[in-house]
Structure 1
């Protein structure tokens, strides 16, 4: 016979009190571990050790149905332990970005985070890998420009990796033509930039006969032009980039749209639990009305769909996945999420965050 609810809750409360004692004991040991790592020059995160322990410890749970839950509990405890170690040691949050100092992603990072440990990577995918593997805590990446549209690779990587959008941030982008000290516009024969820089400045560049050479990002191209010390080479970048790499501004505000803005996302390996906006990636059956079912489900439950984009599924010709953002009461969205899953072939929540004013 099942005990009454009050008795069951009382028993859970007794167990919880016992767990407090074990928790305090565990965190005392975590503190000693942090000090040992500091003394011996070791990193706080040892991911291979964590994965080994997760596999080993969760396998000890006799009830197979509960092993996954225990593993999730232990992984969260490991995350809290790392945070506590960093706090004890006075360490900053590790944040990754693509490019070098002075890149627009670096500028956005500094607007979002007052204090953090900045980690630079060569490609967008390397940022995703670093966040996914917990090499860093967070990553900052561009996802869409108001003039040239989405950065398609980011959507592919959101689908590929277990990373989540936790924040969005808008940065006004002002592009300038830069050259080495003493250079003039009439000297320029080659211009280096990220492809987005060329697209955003296409009206200024049109008909000048300059060779446009794509680079990893605007700051990397600025560093290259600075290092070459060649008056015939120009680059597209910001005031910050010009100052950082000792370049002259040959032409100001060359971007075609004077309201040019880029939306940046902050990604984490931890699934966010707060915010009024949800981001999904899904595929639907190749049947009439299948996508409309998704759109209708969002609307009929009182949610506002903010965005829908399609991207080709790699290695599957003429198949597409959809990125969808919608806004509303996310704390009570379980029924909607289940309905969307039922009407999808594949389904993945890739973010939850607060939508800032001014970002559509």
Structure 2
């Protein structure tokens, strides 16, 4: 590698513009040769985040081949998978191919792992042209390599779950961990909160409902846009009440949450479409908390909307990392049959 000092956060892999962190970079150096504190992963499967995949699919009118070519073009141009419209990426699973002698990540060659950091900051090369992907699902069979830095996060894949299921869970494992933390903060103050999860039948939403109940919520409300999803969520038994509402319609969302037992003390936004900020704020009790766990969120719309509504709510950005988040999400999957049923159902649809 070039005669330069490796940075634990990956600054040495930034090609353009210099001086920014890898996530903010336009281009990364994705060459396979590693620095002493890096790890190289042989890629098996990517998981595009929901907002990014939806944007690509809609931009190409559902043309899977066009979506595939867009992903290949992004990775080739940027040295990473970062949707230029949504700014988001996803994560991946693969096998550890080489470990630098100074790497602190605790993995060994041959370990099957999931990266718990975003593809938006992970140097990536694809070598098979995504030949085994039809462009019609978030999970992407792929061959190539990815690079992890000293401050990356990685987890070994559990032996009792198929890789596709592990990948789907670990892709959203920050949501249930943060939801549980917030709910416990209420319980610790003697308040058993009402928790509303917008997008409750999705991956992050179903885990967040399970986490809220596990952490001591008094009542859980799952918000979904379609009757088919309401039926799936009711069957899963993860919510005390399931309500139909378009989360982009603030008044309709408020009414749905109130009829289901709200307003909510804690609202968790887990949908992959823009325009849900005002409804989330409006349907949250004064003094409550809104957790935005969607890459489709406009944080300026959330902040200005709360101001315009004179809403005294705390707004949190789910950053995808809470200590122990992967283990906690996998535990919820194993312990809650409804969560597993929803995840396996979505995988079967893909």
User: Do the two structures share a fold, i.e. TM-score over 0.5?
Assistant: no
Higher share in helix: 1
More contact order relative to length (CA 8 Å, sep ≥ 6): 1
**TM-score after normalising by structure 2:** 0.26
Q: Work out which of the two has the higher radius of gyration on C-alpha atoms and give 1 or 2.
A: 1
**TM-score after normalising by structure 1:** 0.25
